[in-house]
């Protein structure tokens, strides 16, 4: 394989008439030197550079920048040839830093205009070191935690030459049947917006030109999380009122935070495919929000415009996508094959092509790729799965766990136990504690639950009695089976399965306490992993019931990417701890949580249903004809969630004082401080999340019964008291009215609640008066 080496004193590229500065390529890709840190890039400088470069480009070279090739595409040797001809702008799934440098060498040194390639990858919750899935990051209710996870992920990905991630996913999801709920921040636009901003900061860092920053790509624009029936890829039918007030705010927040790119969605939105939806991609995104980055299609979503019955064929699909506002086509070749002729036929204006290419070139320039296109090989050797990465992964996994039940303070476990039974199909599976979208990871790096618990107890006399009890398997193949499979079952006969089940219960009977690790394999959650039920897969609930029936203490550890039906467990299992998919350091983090070295302080970013018949379910519902009986809407069961949005317990106890506001009224556009005292009344140091909710009593449209408008996570020592003050900005009380068809802060009376979940009881009122 070609090894490329450039020393700063031996090679300099001068982009003559179209450059306003000399560009130095000093990186030693063979690993004997260090990359120079690119200088800060101003918008004006980028604009001058791109204007000059665009003026020299042919139509074919421009379309090349709008085209992405995947590593597994059937290009063969033609890929290198296309790069040299300037027919490729980006590559996907290339992870070897030496291969990245080789391909970059072709683009930078052998193509006519020396335009560098942009290498992309799905860095969703880590690259080689895996962090908790995004839904878990949202459960931290701590934007700084989400930012840190994505900063560490950016460091790893950039160390191999990947400078573009297809994350964060900011789709609001209120139906847990939808498999991709695990990729987002849950049901709430306020929490989702704060997590979106944090992840943009994490990926892109202080400056995109820094070598450890990567370009974020906000997805999937828009409404993808509202798929009918929770079925992935199905259409979404969303009123403009819901779009504006619920589904679009996290996208807007991400763009305001500086997101450099955005991905169009697969599905039809209100009858128009999102990838061909000019209202979305032009009217809202560029005219209203002034988005200056570029838009990439989702996988095959340009040719799929024809599949949807929207375009008449591939040329029409290319035309409609570009004219709607798509700038780059992900992996498919519709742009490459048809755009040039479409321009000649005047179906697409040359200015539309220039606008698309401008955003792509600007992103490359701001990333510093024109100045430093190569990656030093020694960077990845120091960064991948480093101790710093592992420490961060473990800490973040402990901060995202949610304690759902802890009867009689069973947790944390005593350290003088003689034996612990560790039971469940996920106790020794490395991939299944990592979660979907761990495509850059090596499972062997991961600490399983069994390994972590045994390691934690290695110096004690406590015995760990471990067995799986049952096995689980997804009924249909996963689209990721070839890239990142879950372990296959090994128990083949009914007799083998029955023997293993009985063995597990025998261990439960022998042990002082049993820890059952149940949930979903990682292939059961994620893209194309929607479900018609929310039950524990396989015979896991039977195993749980049999364990509880022994009368021995049982702790349930949930490994999952969505709420599951644990209604029976919520009444019969003493302690339930949801760790989601915790990542590379799963076993170590879970051991720390079980024994109290880490105290769970996460909160649910979703309302947890009692059964699948309740979904979609969310706290921010509108008041109805029977407002006093909101939990009796079904005659055959409660309509209330099993656990409310924002819920989560701790090993310690907290008490809240009385709500106080700095003023009883405030002019529109102003703000008011809302304060409450929080005291740790227990015996452990722990975290509490103070949450602020509002309700507008009257206006031009009905408003939800409650809406989250502020929160803060605080750590308190035993006996410590702290006054938490949240600033309520009246601009956050505005909404888009279906009556007036505009955003406004409408004067009137507002209810305010402060508490520790969406059922908060500490109440005050606030009058918002007209702006003077």
Active site residues: 298
Asked whether the beta carbons of 757 and 646 are under 8 A apart, the reply is yes
* Backbone φ and ψ of 53, nearest 5°: -70, -40
Residue 643, strand partner residues:
608
Q: What is the largest CA-CA distance in the chain?
A: 81
Burial of 488 from C-beta contacts in 10 A (0-12 / 13-18 / 19+): exposed
| Residue 101 host element (H or E) | helix 97-105
Dihedral, CA atoms, 160, 161, 166, 170, nearest 10 degrees? Answer: 80
Asked whether the beta carbons of 437 and 124 are under 8 A apart, the reply is yes
Query: What residues contact residue 412 under an 8 Å CB cut-off, 6+ apart?
Result: 593, 594, 595, 596, 599, 651, 684
Burial of 490 from C-beta contacts in 10 A (0-12 / 13-18 / 19+): exposed
* Backbone φ and ψ of 749, nearest 5°: -95, 140
CA dist 580 → 26, 160, 343, 586, 711 (Å): 44, 28, 49, 10, 22
Half-sphere exposure of 615 (CA within 13 A, CB side): 28
DSSP structure string for 633-653:
SBTTB--S-SB-TT--B-SS-
Cα–Cα distance measured from residue 729 to residue 747, given in angstroms and rounded to the nearest whole number: 13
DSSP code for 109: I
Asked whether the beta carbons of 728 and 766 are under 8 A apart, the reply is yes
Which of 219, 221, 133, 232 minimizes the C-alpha distance to 176? 232
Burial of 550 from C-beta contacts in 10 A (0-12 / 13-18 / 19+): middle
CA 633 to chain centre: 33
* 3-class DSSP assignment, residue 523: helix
Token pair of 609, please?
């249903």
Token pair of 228, please?
């009918």
Query: What residues contact residue 707 under an 8 Å CB cut-off, 6+ apart?
Result: 190, 620, 693, 694, 695
Cα–Cα distance measured from residue 107 to residue 119, given in angstroms and rounded to the nearest whole number: 12
């Amino acid at each position: 394989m070609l090894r490329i080496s450039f020393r700063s004193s031996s090679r300099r590229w001068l982009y003559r008439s179209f450059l306003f500065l000399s560009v130095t390529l000093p990186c030693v890709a063979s690993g004997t030197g260090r990359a120079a840190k690119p200088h800060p890039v101003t918008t004006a400088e980028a604009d001058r550079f791109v204007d000059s470069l665009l003026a020299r480009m042919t139509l074919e070279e421009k379309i090349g920048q709008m085209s992405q090739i995947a590593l597994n595409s059937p290009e063969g040797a033609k890929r290198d040839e296309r790069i040299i001809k300037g027919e490729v702008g980006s590559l996907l799934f290339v992870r070897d830093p030496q291969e990245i440098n080789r391909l970059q060498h072709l683009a930078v040194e052998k193509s006519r205009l020396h335009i560098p390639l942009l290498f992309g990858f799905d860095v969703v919750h880590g690259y080689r070191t895996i962090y908790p899935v995004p839904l878990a990051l949202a459960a931290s209710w701590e934007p700084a935690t989400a930012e840190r996870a994505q900063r560490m992920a950016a460091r790893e990905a950039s160390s191999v030459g990947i400078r573009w991630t297809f994350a964060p996913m900011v789709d609001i999801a209120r139906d847990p049947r939808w498999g991709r709920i695990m990729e987002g921040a849950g049901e709430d636009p306020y929490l989702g917006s704060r997590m979106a901003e944090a992840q943009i900061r994490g990926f892109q860092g202080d400056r995109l030109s820094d070598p450890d920053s990567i370009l974020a790509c906000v997805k999937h624009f828009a409404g993808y999380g509202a798929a009918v029936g929770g079925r992935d890829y199905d259409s979404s039918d969303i009123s403009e009122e819901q779009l504006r007030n619920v589904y679009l705010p996290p996208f807007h927040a991400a763009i305001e935070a500086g997101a450099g790119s955005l991905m169009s969605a697969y599905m039809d939105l209100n009858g128009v495919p999102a990838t061909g939806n000019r209202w979305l991609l032009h009217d809202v995104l560029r005219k209203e929000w002034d988005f200056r980055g570029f838009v990439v299609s989702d996988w095959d979503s340009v040719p799929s415009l024809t599949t949807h019955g929207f375009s008449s064929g591939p040329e029409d699909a290319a035309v409609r996508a570009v004219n709607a506002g798509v700038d780059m086509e992900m992996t498919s070749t519709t742009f490459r094959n048809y755009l040039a002729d479409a321009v000649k036929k005047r179906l697409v204006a040359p200015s539309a092509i220039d606008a698309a290419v401008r955003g792509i070139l600007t992103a490359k320039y701001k990333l510093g790729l024109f100045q430093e296109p190569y990656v030093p090989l020694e960077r990845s050797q120091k960064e991948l799965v480093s101790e710093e990465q592992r420490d961060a992964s473990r800490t973040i996994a402990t901060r995202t766990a949610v304690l759902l039940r802890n009867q009689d303070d069973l947790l944390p476990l005593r350290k003088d136990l003689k034996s612990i039974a560790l039971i469940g199909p996920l106790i020794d599976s490395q991939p299944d504690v990592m979660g979907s979208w761990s495509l850059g990871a090596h499972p062997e790096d991961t600490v399983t639950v069994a390994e972590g618990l045994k390691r934690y107890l290695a110096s004690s006399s406590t015995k760990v009695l471990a067995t799986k009890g049952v096995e689980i398997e997804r009924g249909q193949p996963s689209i990721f089976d070839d890239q990142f499979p879950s372990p296959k079952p090994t128990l083949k006969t009914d007799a083998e399965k029955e023997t293993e089940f009985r063995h597990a219960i025998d261990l439960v009977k022998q042990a002082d306490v049993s820890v059952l690790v149940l949930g979903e394999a990682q292939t059961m959650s994620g893209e194309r992993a929607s479900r018609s039920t929310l039950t524990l897969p396989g015979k896991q609930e039977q195993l749980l019931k049999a364990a509880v029936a022994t009368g021995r203490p049982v702790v349930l550890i949930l490994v999952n990417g969505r709420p599951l039906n644990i209604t029976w467990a919520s009444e019969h299992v003493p302690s339930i701890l949801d760790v989601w998919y915790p990542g590379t350091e799963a076993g170590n983090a879970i051991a720390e949580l079980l024994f109290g070295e880490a105290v769970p302080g996460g909160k649910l970013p979703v309302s947890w249903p009692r059964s699948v018949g309740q979904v979609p379910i969310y706290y921010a519902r509108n008041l109805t004809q029977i407002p006093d009986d909101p939990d009796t809407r079904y005659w055959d069961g409660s309509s209330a969630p099993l656990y409310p949005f924002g819920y989560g317990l701790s090993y310690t106890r907290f008490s809240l004082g009385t709500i106080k506001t700095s003023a009883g009224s405030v002019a529109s556009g102003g703000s008011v401080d809302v304060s409450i005292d929080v005291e740790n009344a227990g015996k452990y140091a722990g975290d509490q999340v103070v949450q602020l909710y509002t309700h507008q009593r009257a206006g031009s449209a009905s408003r939800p019964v409650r809406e989250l408008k502020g929160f803060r996570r605080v750590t308190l020592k035993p006996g410590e008291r702290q006054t938490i003050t949240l600033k309520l900005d009246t601009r956050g009380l505005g909404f888009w009215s279906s009556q007036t068809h505009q955003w406004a802060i409408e004067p009137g009376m507002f209810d305010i609640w402060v508490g520790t979940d969406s059922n908060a009881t500490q109440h005050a009122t606030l009058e918002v008066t007209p702006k003077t």
